[in-house]
Amino acid sequence: MDSSQQVREENALLRKQIELLEKQNNTLEAKVNELSSQMNRILESTPSMEDIKKWTCEYVERELDDIHPLKDRWECTGYLPEYDGCVGYFYHKPRTTIEESRKNAQIHYNRSEVMKQPEIHLSD
């Protein structure tokens, strides 16, 4: 076998290996594209940090309200993103809607100022 024949055979073998690698590369590219699409769908459905903060504030407020309710006619503003996620409290005036009272209200941020005093006292 002469050297040119040997070179042709090696080239043919290398071409087959290149074709195989190209097929494998195409398969891997397709899988990467699929995973990228799946990741983007998951990221789009993941709640934002703002949504998580809002849910957390509202949950904590509900739990606190069960333990230490607000004084009569006091209402919670809910999550206030414009105040960095604080929760405030306002007085709901008689014979007005909550929206009217909320719009014109002075917001209190210290919950202990607007809570009812506990009815049950633990003895020492």
Angle at 77 between CA 118 and CA 120, to 5 degrees: 5
Instruction: Please indicate, yes or no, whether residues 33 and 54 belong to a single structural domain of this protein.
Output: no
Instruction: Tell me the backbone φ, ψ of residue 30, rounded to 5 degrees.
Output: -65, -40
Same domain flag for 61 and 104: yes
39 and 65, same domain (yes or no): no
Same domain, 68 and 80: yes
Task: State CA 108 to chain mean position distance.
Answer: 27
Do 61 and 89 fall into the same domain? yes
For the segment 45-77, what is each residue's pLDDT rounded down to a tens digit? 888 888 888 888 889 888 888 888 888 888 888
Looking at the fold, whether 56 and 104 belong to one and the same domain comes out as yes
More confident residue, 124 or 85: 85
Name the residue range of residue 64's domain.
49-113
Is 98 strand, coil or helix? helix
The DSSP line for 35-89 is HHHHHHHHHHHSPPHHHHHHHHHHHHHHHHHHHSPBPTTEEEEEEEGGGTTEEEE
